[in-house]
Structure 1
Amino acid sequence: MLRESVRRFATDVVGPKVREMDENEMMDPAVIQGLFEQGLMGIETSADHGGAESSFTSAIIAIEELAKVDPSVSVLCDVHNTLVNTVVRKYGSKEQKDKWLPLLSETQLGSFCLSESASGSDAFALQTRAVPSADGSHYTLNGSKMWITNSWEAEFFLVFASVDLAKGYKGITCFIVPKELGVQVAKKEEKLGIRASSTCTLSFDDVKVPAENVLGGVGKGYKIAIEILNEGRIGIAAQMLGLAQGAFDKVIPYTFERKQFGQPIGTFQGMQHQMAKAAIDIEAARLLTYNAARRKEEGLDFTKEAAMAKYYASQVAMSVSGSAIEWAGGVGFTRETGIEKYWRDSKIGAIYEGTSNIQLQTIAKFIQKQYS
């Protein structure tokens, strides 16, 4: 029922706006509002806090279905649910959850702020500082963040900053920073793909954050980030899975409509074998993604499985969307059909929330631990 509901929303509400949003490089506010109205911005959040009180797998399914139509809308929903909501739900105090989760479920878009110009894959080399006041009532934030998803539209920011750079990763702390406290949204990146999804640089210039906005405890930010990014990788795997399926679904009917040499191009054996292999790859990516989600829900370790799913789904997304352009020929190369957009959108899957090399390194560590 959830899959069908999200599919209808994606097709009827998002679908007609996809090309315009991509061309304008801007998310339509009506789409964001629609996500809230559909209950898709608090999927795992309790009903007491305005959420749908559903499962992690439900969130994964929603992300997958949205990506079939527009990966930009999908990642907006993904980051809000699997990163922002989950951090508040899992690490927030009762007061923080009671205050912020209803807003995140119903009206306020969230943003997860970890990366900086010098800290990408080496996430804990961050330099943003949070200096406590003499009376302990607040912290003063100074620094900047880069590559921050949802940042243009967000009202709620989870900001990772160090209370003591000399302590290294042990000084990193997570702060709840409402935009109204003085978050400055600076440069908005002009990207190859997922162009409707905002990616901006943020500046913090003497932003005073109440001490009560420390999330999970001082010095616990590294633990929060490590754990939450493992879950987030399953979300990105779902996005890439949906993207691959969306490109496949869009191009295959065309191959049985266009005729060359007296028959539909989709009936040539060479084409059929390529399509069959793509279908196998998509199904394999789906099983890896769902298995990682299952292990997460069952309380089993899922770090390796999340890395495998994210790595493989991103490779399949690039491969299938690239093939879809070729199968459609000249038409596929034009922006009018929207097929080429899937390929542009797919490239980010190998980069954000852990590059492909980082995923391979994570998997390799588990192999080494098992066999050495």
Structure 2
Amino acid sequence: MPDRAPQPVDRPLPTEEARDLISLVRDIAQREIAPKAAEEEDAGRFPREVFSLLSESGLLGLPYDSEYGGGDQPYEVYLQVLEELAAARLTVGLGVSVHTLSCHALATFGSKEQQVEHLPAMLGGGLLGAYCLSEPASGSDAASLRTKAVRDGDGDGWVITGTKAWITHGGVADFYTVMARTGEEGPRGITAFLVPGNAEGLSAAAPEKKMGMKGSPTAQVHFDGVRVGDDRRIGEEGQGFTIALSALDSGRLGIAACAIGVAQAALDEAVTYATERRQFGKPIADFQGLRFMLADMATQIEAGRALYLTAARLKDAGRPFAKQAAMAKLHCTDTAMKVTTDAVQILGGYGYTADFPAERFMREAKVLQIVEGTNQIQRMVIARHVAGPETR
């Protein structure tokens, strides 16, 4: 079949600098990420050298302050970078989103001294982060977490004990943003800490064996009496749950952008196949039933992109965006699941084989409906904004 490269997305970018940034990202994605994606995902290989390259290129701290090594980019631009990376390989796009999430607590709630000391290495110094909120018995009910942090003997630091679960980059991260219980039960007793990846007593279990994203390590992380100084406490005691929710509002936009990236990649694959595959003497893209499928796929992708960008612009303007972030996460990840499933259908038997990437896109899309708040949780969040809190 002749080679038919997909057309780049025509993006609504606010500045010439942003257009240059997207061009850089596309070049890296096409040269360094996409060509190896299928082979490395099949082998379960984590591309740490890609994250090093992204760090060297200034792409791991895009939405943060340039004073500390960030890129000073609005979320409107940062999210479109994520989309481009996820379209090339979800392990990379989602990994950048998780790293950004891991930096959020310190960048937003940390003291000036903490930011000066730690952020430059986190944002542009080659370090990779992980975000530790979920536990084996507390996923959606994050306020019930059991990992504890207690004052050590001299009162000048903390000892953290417990297990975190479903941690992206677990075992390979250089730092962990950890939510631990320091006080009463419920959300008011949780505090945030910045824990170095080489801390004594910190270890990771073997990575989970997942349906998709096999190159991205997801593992339990154990804290067996891990000691950290009080200078690694982020924010006030008891403020950790507020910090966690603030990070998740932004993180959900990252997931939404990644979902649209995967969906766009699946649509591109489906269009390429449908215009090249001939049956009954003509391309299968000429058959109305299939053309309508492609039209629906493209429409849902554009709607999802518009929704996450609307939420991003609200955030950039300093306005409330939690409802729109939940809507974007819900719609975009459901769209990714539907579009990738339809892409497999359009490719027929070939779509069900690992010789084509459609089946990988479909497997990867599923996790996006689960991570950083399941889509059932997103519906609860949206309903509270629309109809008020549940009556008791």
* Counterpart contact for 2:34–2:89, Cα < 8 Å: yes
- Output the amino acid matched with 2:109: Y
Partner of 2:3: none
Partner of 2:15: none
> What is the CA-CA distance between 1:251 and the residue it aligns to?
2.0
Please state if 1:341 is matched with 2:374: no
> What is the CA-CA distance between 1:40 and the residue it aligns to?
0.9
> What is the CA-CA distance between 1:163 and the residue it aligns to?
1.0
> What is the CA-CA distance between 1:58 and the residue it aligns to?
2.0
Superposed, 1:1-372 pairs within 5 Å as: 1-81=20-100, 83-105=101-123, 106-164=125-183, 166-182=184-200, 183-369=202-388
- 5+ residue gaps, structure 1, are none
* Counterpart contact for 1:148–1:200, Cα < 8 Å: yes
* Counterpart contact for 2:171–2:221, Cα < 8 Å: no
Q: Select between 313-322 and 129-138 the one with higher mean Cα deviation.
A: 129-138
> What is the CA-CA distance between 1:152 and the residue it aligns to?
2.8
Q: How big is each residue's C-alpha offset from its partner over 1:229-250, in whole Å with a ceiling of 9 and x where there is no partner?
A: 1111111000101110111112
TM-score normalized by the length of structure 2: 0.92
> What is the CA-CA distance between 1:341 and the residue it aligns to?
0.6
> What SS does the aligned partner of 2:220 have?
strand
Q: How big is each residue's C-alpha offset from its partner over 1:30-63, in whole Å with a ceiling of 9 and x where there is no partner?
A: 2121111221111123223222222222221111
> What SS does the aligned partner of 1:218 have?
coil
* Counterpart contact for 2:351–2:359, Cα < 8 Å: yes
What is the total number of aligned residue pairs between the two structures?
A: 370
Q: How big is each residue's C-alpha offset from its partner over 1:91-110, in whole Å with a ceiling of 9 and x where there is no partner?
A: 11111111111111221101
Task: State the alpha-carbon separation in 1 of the partners of residues 45 and 105 from structure 2.
Answer: 27
Quote the RMSD (CA, aligned, Å). Answer: 1.5
> What SS does the aligned partner of 1:73 have?
helix
Task: Give aligned-pair identity as a percent.
Answer: 38
Greater per-residue helix proportion:
1
> What is the CA-CA distance between 1:29 and the residue it aligns to?
2.2
- Output the amino acid matched with 2:284: I
> What SS does the aligned partner of 1:180 have?
coil
Task: State the alpha-carbon separation in 2 of the partners of residues 96 and 197 from structure 1.
Answer: 29
* Counterpart contact for 1:46–1:53, Cα < 8 Å: yes
> What is the CA-CA distance between 1:134 and the residue it aligns to?
3.5
- Output the amino acid matched with 1:286: R
Partner of 2:7: none
TM-score normalized by the length of structure 1: 0.97
Task: State the alpha-carbon separation in 1 of the partners of residues 233 and 213 from structure 2.
Answer: 32
Task: State the alpha-carbon separation in 2 of the partners of residues 284 and 24 from structure 1.
Answer: 34
Task: State the alpha-carbon separation in 2 of the partners of residues 115 and 137 from structure 1.
Answer: 27
> What is the CA-CA distance between 1:168 and the residue it aligns to?
2.5
* Counterpart contact for 1:45–1:101, Cα < 8 Å: no
